[in-house]
Structures are given as structure tokens and as C-alpha cells.
Amino acid sequence: MAINTQDSTCLPLQEKIVHNNKTARAIELIILSFLVSLLVYRLFTFKDQNQYIPWLLALLCESWFTFTWILSMCIKWNQCSMKTYPDRLLKRVNEFEFLPVDIFVTTADPILEPCILTMNTVLSLLAVDYPANKLALYLSDDSCSPLIYYSLVETTKFAKLWVPFCKKYNIQVRAPFRYFTSNSTLLEDDSLEFQHEWKKIKNEYDDLYKKIEVAAQSPFTCDDRNSDFAVFCDVHRSDHQAIIKVISENTDLPHVIYISREKNLKHHHHYKAGAMNALARVSAIMTSAPLMLNVDCDMYANNPQVFLHAMCIVFGYKNDQDCGFIQFPQAFYDGLKDDPFGNQLANYYYLTNGIAAIQGPFYSGTNCIHRRKVIYGLSPNDKINSGNIRNEDSQKVFGKSFELRESAALILSGSIAKIENRTTRPSSLIEPAIHVASCSYEYGTDWGKKVGWLYGSTTEDTLTGVSIHARGWKSIMCSPDPLAFLGCVPSTYPSSLTQQKRWAIGLLEILFTDKNPLLLTLKGNLWFRHALAYYWICLWGARSIPEICYASLPAYCIITGSHFLPNANEWAFIIPVSIFAIYNVYVLWEATRRGVSLRTWWNLQRMGRVTTMTAWLFGFLSVMLKLMGLSKTVFEVTQKEHKSNYGDGVGDKDDKNAGKFTYDKSPVIMPGVVILLVNMTALVNGVLRLSKVHYSEIWIKMLELGLGEMFCSVWVFLCFWEFLKGFFRKGKYGIPSTTISKSGCLALFFVHLCRRFVQPS
Ligand SMILES: O=c1ccn([C@@H]2O[C@H](COP(=O)(O)OP(=O)(O)O[C@H]3O[C@H](CO)[C@@H](O)[C@H](O)[C@H]3O)[C@@H](O)[C@H]2O)c(=O)[nH]1
Ligand SMILES: [Mn+2]
């Protein structure tokens, strides 16, 4: 490393900041001790119960809650974050030493994922502050759409104006749709020249926008079979040849390359993981950068210095050899106010900082820079020398392509300089690239099994990440200010449910593969505490069962006149009350420390319950069906919305309705509706019984009904309040009547079952 003596101060390029966590630990321990006392109390009073079913069920559920509480305590025990200093980097490290990066953007559907969003992702990445000759951008299009290709060509033309503009005026937000949302950016600089250029660029962007829009509306025709678009004639998105086109190379811009991997109905394409592997192979042949950044099409680079921050870690981290990947946080723009669907991940802040203090953050599928050699299956201690890789071995791992194996050998042996000195232009490598993008290429190789993004889970990110950690790599969370990337979060309730269900499925699936974290601790190098952290997340789907049981317990008890909580006049009543009170105050305190509003806290709290009992339950059931061989799990792409400032976006035009729950015919919410109905029945039942007694005896009657049970029932009712509103609303804002009637039948059945258990008293 060339060190400029003048500036060779000893200031570090990056710093690990350890956060004090004593208060939180103490509170968590207190909650834990109450949880344990509750379990002990239940065991000792078991024989005193005249109805043991609710007592036993409560014991089982609470044991589970205690278990997940211990897992989350393990994760959150230590808290740390990372600070990086790009200004020091620029003074100390010469630009030509920066590592090349291949950028991967994936898109899968021009309708669910509006093209203009993807193009903004591309523009924001082309415009980062980093030497352009060290970057190559690959766009993977799983829909094989001429619209996306056309848009990328037009976008690249626009980028030739946009990128110099951003760099000249040091624009902070380099995704035009965000930059141009307000005219106030025009006032940032009052020089005439700027004002003039601003208007010119804005007009150009408007043109690009309109071109894409017009193209999206008119179906693609094959009039000119000699044109650049001829390859898209008569192709079907799930049955077509590989298409690779180099749109721009060797200019002031990074290379821009379009890829649509081959697909046909005989071969499974493995969704995003398959797309990532095709990207990894094609880029291996064309540029083979030692680092690869992967970004979903709904994210954009919000901090133009993102690569410099990454270089701070590459050059500044003492054990840089141990760091397998650098993860930037997932954050969102234009999220709905107060997070009504509870999907903006605000409640994961302390967990993220906790995991960062163990073996490092989980790979979350986007905003992540991997070392290429790590993706190629290397472990931290492997020393490979390009000479000693045997031909047959490397063919078994990487497949037949000679060019791929050659570049992999250089990467594995760390000969980065040799790669950088290659002068072949990407456009002259299309043929070998098409070969590795074919759908049969992976047969008989390690792709998807040991090398690349792993197959077997709809959350390919966590699966791939755990296998990297299991090889002994650490990972680093890099959270610059402003945030490195911003993305869009599902803004309608059904799309949020789709996403949550897919996550629950994919995460749970991991436990049934050979990448089960505990196995990896025993056989591999995954740290035990890190395995526990993975368990915490992988078990999301499984949480639905105890939560559903626990939410039906109060209803069951009120209807049958039994108890699952200590009576209000017993000393032990204090235990559940304390757990409830301390826990909620604690979570509220955590939220306010993060500057989250009271309303958001409540939304997160209730949506936590609702999501677990609906989307996660369906996730759990899907995995069970898959294990029994009755169904397959699929990756359902979530709908992205583009709220344009041109007034014609897909977004909800009526802003006051944004955040209002909408429903479709999907049965996912049914369990929630059932829980709501049975608790309502129980409450009505309880209130009716109270109304029959003289007011002087109300208190006694209350005790008899169970104060705790009544309170829990009210709490569940409040959590599902939104669904109740859905009963009375019309159109898409109302729960479909078929869902209501089916749930009603199930609720009646439950009440009927309860009645059969009623003991004559
Ligand atoms: O067959 C497919 C399906 C999806 N994608 C791409 O995968 C990305 C993520 O899909 P999205 O519908 O946005 O899913 P999210 O739930 O928002 O994604 C989160 O969760 C996924 C795993 O479930 C991770 O892969 C993502 O990186 C992570 O952001 C998008 O760029 C898609 O274009 C493909 O390329 N091919
Ligand atoms: Mn997404």
C-alpha cells in the first residue's frame, strides 16, 4: 500500500464502536427471571388444576416464549457498529489501488417491478464516486423483456449526461427520480450555469421517463428483424436462449451489460439464486472483479461514497482476510407513516447491532459486497496456488467453460493484478459468456450446492450467508451516514403478506437442509452463538403455532369457565402482570431510543402478532406440505410501486388512503379472522354473564371469569382491530365475504368444541 508520508497519520480508516448495553441487559434478565418463575409456578401448581388442558397448553407455549426470549437475549447481549472514514482513505490510498467491483442488479418482471425503478437503481450505481474503469454493471433480466433491454440502452445514453452532472456538482442523491422529486434541489446552487444544466438534465430525464412509458404501453413487435431487438422476437419469458448484450464499454462510464440467462421448461431456474449464479459466471468471464456488489432492482445507492466506505473496510480492517462480505443495512424511502403493516424492519435495529457483534451480519440478499473467492467456495485458511488446481477438479466445481475455470483459478490464488491487466473487451467474450448462462451449464457442477448462491430455500440470501459463516468467515456491517442504499418496502397489505410468507418459508426450509445452523456448528466453523442467532430468525414460521394457541387460550377459558392464568387474588398473579408490563415498557423504551413514534411502536407490536398468526402460519404450513412431498415452495416476487411526480404512477393517488389495509381473496388472513371472532365471542359471553349479576357482586364475578383471561382477550381483540374494520368496509378495503364466512364457520366450530369441554359446575 502506498502511504503518503504527509498524511500517514495513524487515524484508522474504520472503527468499531461498542455500545453500552447494561440497562437493556438488566431488564432482559429481569424479564427472563419472571418467565422462568412462571414456568416453575405452573409446574408446581399443575396438580391443583381441575382443568389441566389450558394449564398444560400455557406451559408449553410459555416454554417456547422463554426459549425465543433466550435466543434474542443471546443476540442482543453485545452491541456494536462500524464507522468508516472515506476522507482518510482518499488521503492515504491511491485510487489505482482500489479494488474493482462487479455490480449485479436483478429484475424479474417489468410489471411487478416498474422498469423506471430498475433504471434508477442502475443510474444511481453508475454515478457513484469511484473510478469508472474499476466498475462493471450487469443487469440480470429474468423476464427476458425487450422493454427492459430498450430501457437500459436509453438509460445508458442518459447516464452519459447524468453522471458528469452529479460529479460536477457533487449531487448527493444520484437516483434521478428521487433527486427531481422536489424543485428545491434547483436552489441548492444559485449559479446560472447550474440552474441551466439542472433544467437541461431534468428535461432529459423527463424524456427518458416518457420513452420508457410509451414503450411499456405499446407491445413489442418484430417489424425489423435485423434490428438490435431481433433476439427478442417470439421469445417466451420461461423458454428462450441466453441473451447477453454489452451496451457500453470503455468510456467514462462503467461497463453496462444486459443478461437474460437461458431458460426452458425442463430445467428449474432457481429464481433469484439462479440469476445470481448466472451473473457470477458471466461476470467471471468478462471482468472477474474480486468484489461483487448485489442490489435488488428496488434499491438505489443513496450515498455516492458507498464503494469508498467499503474500501475503508478492505484497506483498514486488520484481519481483512477474515471478512467474507460487507453488508449495508436495508432501509426504505417513502415508507408509510408509522409503519402500519409493521414491515419496515425498524424493530430489528438492536438485533442487527447484536449480530454484528458476534460473527457479523446476516447476508440479506441485497446491498451486499461479497469477495468473489468466498462465493467460489473458499475458506479463510485455504491457500491455493493457481498452478495446483487440477483440471478435473475445477471442472467438477465450476463446469466445463475453460474461460471460467481460468479466471476462477486466478481469483482463488489471489492473483488480482493479473486479472486487472487483462485487456480483452467484454464484447469480444460474448460467446463464452452465453455458454455459462445456459440452463444446463450447472449440471454435474457445484453451482448452487457449494459454489455461488445456494439452492434449496426461497431465502437464498440467508442460506448462502450461513454457509459462508460456516466456513469460518466473518462479515461486517457498514452503516455510513447517509445510508448507503434505500429501497421500497411493500406498500400494500397483501404484498407485505406475500413477502412475510416467503421469508417464513425460506428461513424455516434452511433448518431441513444440511445447512442447519446447529449442524454447521458441530461440523463446520459456525460460532455457537451465531448459530443461535440464525435459529432465532429461521424459526419465525414455527412461532405461529404457540402464538395461535396462546391467543385462543383466553377465549377458551372464558367460554369454558376455566383458567390459564393465576387468579387475580393469588400472589402469583403478579408474575404474568409483571412480564406483560415490563416487556411492553421495555420495547417502548427501545423504540423511543431509536426515535420511533408511539404509534409506530403500537403498530409494530400488534402487527408482530398479526403477521405471526397469518403469513408466518401459512409459511409454516407450506414447509410442512413440502416436507411431506405434497407441494413445492416458490419465490413470489413482491409488487413494487413507483409513486411518480408526474401524477401517473401506480401508487395510490389518494394519499389519505395510503396505509389503509386492503385485502384480496387469499386465505392467508383467515387464521387471524378466526382468532378475532373467537375472542369477540368470548368477550360478549363474558360481558353478558357480568350483566346478569348485581353490581355489588361484579368484582367477585370478574374474579371468577378471570381478570387475566378477560384482559388477554381484550388485548388480542385490540391487536386484530384492523380486521374488524375490514368487516365493515367496502371494495378492496373490506375483507371478502367468502373469507369472513369461512372464518366464521371455523370460529363456530371452535366455540362448539369449547362447549363440549364445559364442566357442569
Ligand atoms: O426469479 C426471480 C425472482 C426474483 N428475482 C429478484 O430478486 C429480487 C428480490 O425480490 P423481491 O420480490 O423484491 O423480494 P424482497 O422480499 O423484497 O427481497 C428480500 O428477500 C429476498 C429473499 O426472500 C432476497 O433475495 C432479497 O434480496 C431481499 O431484499 C428482485 O430484484 C427480483 O427481481 C429474480 O431475479 N428472479
Ligand atoms: Mn424487494
For residue 330, give the ligand 1 atom closest to its CA: 29
Q: What is the mean pLDDT of residues 516-524?
A: 97
Ligand number nearest CA of 139 is 1
Query: Is 272 one of the annotated binding-site residues?
Result: yes
Reported confidence tier of residue 387, pLDDT bands at 50, 70, 90: low
Q: What is the share, in percent, of the chain residues with pLDDT greater than 90?
A: 81
Query: Is 22 one of the annotated binding-site residues?
Result: no
At residue 67, the pLDDT reads: 98
Q: How far apart are CA 683 and CA 710, in angstroms?
A: 7
Q: Which of 145, 363, 366, 636 to mutate to test the pocket of ligand 1 (most atoms within 8 A of CB)?
A: 366
C-alpha cell read off for 150: 430498450
Q: How far apart are CA 505 and CA 508, in angstroms?
A: 5
Q: Judge whether 702 and 690 are in contact, CB under 8 Å.
A: yes
Q: Which of 111, 296, 330, 461 to mutate to test the pocket of ligand 1 (most atoms within 8 A of CB)?
A: 296
For residue 107, give the ligand 1 atom closest to its CA: 33
Q: What is the share, in percent, of the chain residues with pLDDT greater than 70?
A: 95
Q: How far apart are CA 598 and CA 605, in angstroms?
A: 11
At residue 320, the pLDDT reads: 54
- Mean pLDDT, the chain, integer: 92
At residue 616, the pLDDT reads: 98
C-alpha cell read off for 296: 435488488
C-alpha distances (whole Å) from 296 to each of 237, 486, 580 are 19, 10, 39
Name, in order, each residue with C-beta under 8 angstroms of 342's C-beta and a sequence gap of 6 or more: 603, 604, 606, 607, 608, 610, 611
Residue identifier of the C-alpha nearest atom 7 of ligand 1: 272
Q: How far apart are CA 436 and CA 703, in angstroms?
A: 72
Query: Is 102 one of the annotated binding-site residues?
Result: no
Higher pLDDT among residues 244 and 219, named by residue:
244
At residue 647, the pLDDT reads: 42
Q: Report pLDDT digits (tens) over 621-678.
A: 999 999 999 989 899 999 998 875 554 444 444 567 888 999 999 999 999 999 999 9
Reported confidence tier of residue 51, pLDDT bands at 50, 70, 90: confident
Give the count of alpha carbons within 13 A of 735, CB side only: 24
Q: Report pLDDT digits (tens) over 621-631.
A: 999 999 999 98
Residue 457 has pLDDT above 60, yes or no: yes
Rounded distance from Cα 489 to ligand 2 centre (Å): 7
Q: What is the mean pLDDT of residues 490-502?
A: 95
Return the minimum-mean-pLDDT range out of 161-170, 277-286, 313-322, 481-490.
313-322
Domain boundaries, the chain: 33-76+544-757, 96-330+366-483
C-alpha cell read off for 704: 371468577
For residue 297, give the ligand 1 atom closest to its CA: 31
Phi, psi of 703 (to 5 degrees): -60, -40
Q: Report pLDDT digits (tens) over 702-730.
A: 787 889 999 999 999 999 999 999 999 99
For residue 502, give the ligand 1 atom closest to its CA: 23
Give the ipTM of the model, two decimals please: 0.99
Residue identifier of the C-alpha nearest atom 31 of ligand 1: 296
- Which run of H or of E encompasses 370? strand 368-371
Rounded distance from Cα 280 to ligand 1 centre (Å): 16
Rounded distance from Cα 506 to ligand 2 centre (Å): 15
Query: Is 234 one of the annotated binding-site residues?
Result: no
Q: How far apart are CA 28 and CA 69, in angstroms?
A: 9
Which residue carries 411492553 as its cell? 584
Residues assigned a catalytic role: 142, 461
Residue 567's nearest CA partner among 703, 744, 468, 416 is 703
Q: How far apart are CA 477 and CA 355, in angstroms?
A: 9
Rounded distance from Cα 299 to ligand 2 centre (Å): 8
Reported confidence tier of residue 221, pLDDT bands at 50, 70, 90: confident
Residue identifier of the C-alpha nearest atom 13 of ligand 1: 638
Give the count of alpha carbons within 13 A of 42, CB side only: 24
Q: What is the mean pLDDT of residues 474-501?
A: 95
Residue 758 has pLDDT above 50, yes or no: yes
Phi, psi of 654 (to 5 degrees): -85, 100
Q: Report pLDDT digits (tens) over 248-307.
A: 997 789 999 999 999 999 999 999 999 999 999 999 999 999 999 999 999 999 999 999
At residue 349, the pLDDT reads: 92
Reported confidence tier of residue 190, pLDDT bands at 50, 70, 90: confident
For residue 462, give the ligand 1 atom closest to its CA: 22
Q: Is 140 helix (H, G, I), strand (E, B) or coil?
A: strand
At residue 234, the pLDDT reads: 86
At residue 635, the pLDDT reads: 92
At residue 63, the pLDDT reads: 98
Higher pLDDT among residues 459 and 390, named by residue:
459
Q: How far apart are CA 117 and CA 334, in angstroms?
A: 14
Residues in contact with ligand 1 by the CB-under-6-Å rule are: 106-108, 113, 140, 142, 271-272, 275, 296-298, 365-366, 458-461, 499, 502-503, 506, 635, 637-638
Rounded distance from Cα 153 to ligand 2 centre (Å): 24
Number of H helices and E strands in the chain, helices first, is: 28, 12
Residues flanking ion ligand 2, Cβ below 5 Å:
296, 298
Q: Report pLDDT digits (tens) over 98-114.
A: 999 999 999 999 999 99
Q: What is the mean pLDDT of residues 342-357?
A: 92
Q: Judge whether 478 and 429 are in contact, CB under 8 Å.
A: no
At residue 652, the pLDDT reads: 44
Three-class SS string for 288-311?
CCCEEEEEECCEEECCCCHHHHHH
